[in-house]
Copies of this chain bind each other. A is one copy, B any other.
Amino acid sequence: MTGSPREPQQDRSRLTRERLLTSTIDILSGQGWAAATVARVAEEAGVSRGAAQHHFPTREVLITAALEQMFTDLTASAAQDVADLPAGPERIGIVVARAVEIYVGRNFRAALQVWAAAASDEVLREQILPLEAKFARAAHEMTLAGLDPDGRNPNAYRLAQATLDLARGLGLAATLSDDSRRRAQVVATWVEQVELGLGG
């Protein structure tokens, strides 16, 4: 706190924005695309419609900001310090599990609603593709750093790619039903394969 008279208002504004984004993600993941309108989100967040429209004048702006928030949260939760990882085969298990965690859960379920809508909405698609590309790069960098901390394994780049594609596929399967037991088997198989592929 610097004592500037503008600060409390800026804080309130920031908090309102955060509440609206949280409600957007909640609604997308729980009620789906059609429900995620500025009006419904404002109601869920306990914010007046005018205040919501001040922050997010259109649904597209709100959805894009929410997707950016999801991607930030997703990469933050997976980006624990690579230096803390144990050496040896155990490390690969942790890195693969973190990649899968990105795609399983509330944030991915919400993002899936946006992707499905964007598949048939070119304007929305053009808006979210740069976010998607930035997110994909961040996820790949994290996974690669985990699989190959020394940056010397020639197979690590493509194994990191394949790991994230697998994780996305597991995440999509998890949106319909809880298949966590099956998923654990597939992850175990995958970890063995990555060990083989890295020549471990």
* A residues at B contact (CB < 8 Å): 29-35, 109, 112-113, 115-121, 125, 128-129, 132, 155, 158-159, 161-162, 164-173, 175-177, 182, 185-186, 188-190, 192-193, 196-197
A176 to B125: give the CA distance in the assembly, Å.
7
Secondary structure dominating the interface of A: helix
Give 27 pairs: A residue, B residue, CB < 8 Å, sorted on A.
Answer: A30-B120, A32-B117, A32-B119, A32-B120, A34-B34, A109-B119, A113-B116, A113-B119, A115-B172, A115-B175, A116-B117, A125-B176, A128-B176, A129-B176, A129-B177, A132-B176, A155-B189, A158-B186, A161-B185, A162-B166, A162-B186, A162-B190, A162-B193, A165-B173, A169-B169, A189-B197, A193-B193
